[in-house]
Amino acid sequence: MEHLDHVGRIQQQWATERPDLDPAPQGIIGRLHRLAIFLREEVCAVYAEHGLTEAEFDVLATLRRSGEPYSLAPSELAAQTMVTSGATTKRLDRLVSAGYVSRHHDNGDQRRRRISLTAQGKNKIDEVMTDHLANEARLIAQLSANEQTALEGALKNWLKHYEPLQE
């Protein structure tokens, strides 16, 4: 008897209950969904080890990868982290309190605000990013190099149907 994973059992049940339907797509979608849950837990554990939430890591990483002077307007930060300005404000309040980011006016213009990574914030995200990428390497090491390349290509190709590629 074939050993079935959770998704395979669901597919088998649907094949029995609704033989007129093809449950094959569930094999991909269901497994991607379940894998995303497991991977998110593994990734967020590293952030938690550093005292950060996933959202806080996202803000710090976005500022850091923006390059010197590691500063963005709140609207740019919200767009790059794909959250509302209200959600960005909540994230920033905690990061300002921790000393990782600062809020200031842009070149004295009281109407334009900037969010900047502090030296402490830069050190923190550099430390977390090192551990984060090591963790991600550990997670994908379960796949062969060929599987990693094939999976990345397939996911990139699939994702382009939902989000535009950036120049």
Q: What is the pLDDT of residues 108-142, one digit of tens each?
A: 666 678 999 999 999 999 999 999 999 999 999 99
Cα distance between residue 143 and residue 161, in whole Å: 25
Report which secondary-structure segment, H or E, holds 12.
Answer: helix 6-17
Q: What separation in angstroms does the CA of 45 have from each of 23, 41, 42, 83, 131?
A: 33, 6, 5, 22, 11
Strand, helix or coil for residue 97: helix
Q: What is the pTM of this model?
A: 0.85
pLDDT digits (tens, 9 = 90+) for 63-89: 999 999 999 988 888 888 867 777 788
Q: What tokens were used for 15?
A: 């094949």
Cα distance between residue 121 and residue 42, in whole Å: 23
- What pLDDT band is residue 33 in, cutting at 50, 70 and 90? very high
Alpha helices in 50-144 (DSSP H): 54-65, 74-81, 85-97, 119-140
- Given a cut of 60, is residue 167 above it in pLDDT? no
